[in-house]
Amino acid sequence: MQKIRALLEQKPVALRCAPFLLFLGLTFAQSAFGEEGRYWVYAGKTLVGAWMLWALKPLIMELKWSFSLQGVIAGIAVFVIWVGLDPFYPKLSADVSPWNPLQQFEGQAQALGWFFVVVRLLGSSIVVPPLEEVFYRSFLYRYVVHQDFLKTPLSQFDLKAFLVTALIFGFSHNQWLAGVLCAFVYQGLVIRNNRLGDALTAHAVTNFLLGLWVVFKPAWHFW
């Protein structure tokens, strides 16, 4: 592990891309293990993601949470946008199988279903935000501005990078329009405050509220 950390420390692009891409690869692999297996794979990839963040956080200088009122408000606003816009535009795919462990593990296995709900809620609120924000808002945005991305301050506004990053982020979600608008808000926070931390908070708040909405509405298609 020390050798891997030392190698990644010398390669800032790989340091910010490898954790996200590994997590993304595990996401695509979920469907290969059957309907029940994908819940176990999600739990496994959440642990892997948390471990990667713990191991690599000291090497990623911008990976620092900042709890701010504007971050919380932005997170709530994005949640409202994500849910409010949902009925009014076509999604990328109508055939997405909802992620519903309470249906999958009914009866005597209901406790297991709730376990996976908690795992998903924690994973989407604590693990996913730093993995995605480091990749999209810190690396990709600045890389579009200049390949030597570390020379680009987080506060620099570049219209091309702003739009490209938002479109890539948005179309990586089935709810693509909400994703694009979400990216505008998060990137705006980073540019305004010259730090990633407020976007981390906003992203975490959005995902946590969305998770609660999914479970208690219920609205499983968001997962």
Mean of all residue pLDDT scores within the chain: 93
Regions of the chain where pLDDT drops below 70 = 1-6
| φ and ψ of 72, to 5 deg | -65, -45
Radius of gyration of the chain (CA): 18
The residues, ordered by sequence, that sit 6+ positions from 31 with a Cβ below 8 Å of its Cβ are 38
For residue 205, the model assigns a pLDDT of 98
Tokens of 71: 């971050």
Cα 91 to its chain centre, rounded Å, is: 19
- Confirm whether pTM is higher than 0.85: yes
What's the pLDDT at 92?
A: 93
pLDDT tens-digit map of 157-190: 999 999 999 999 999 999 999 999 999 999 999 9
pLDDT of residue 134: 98
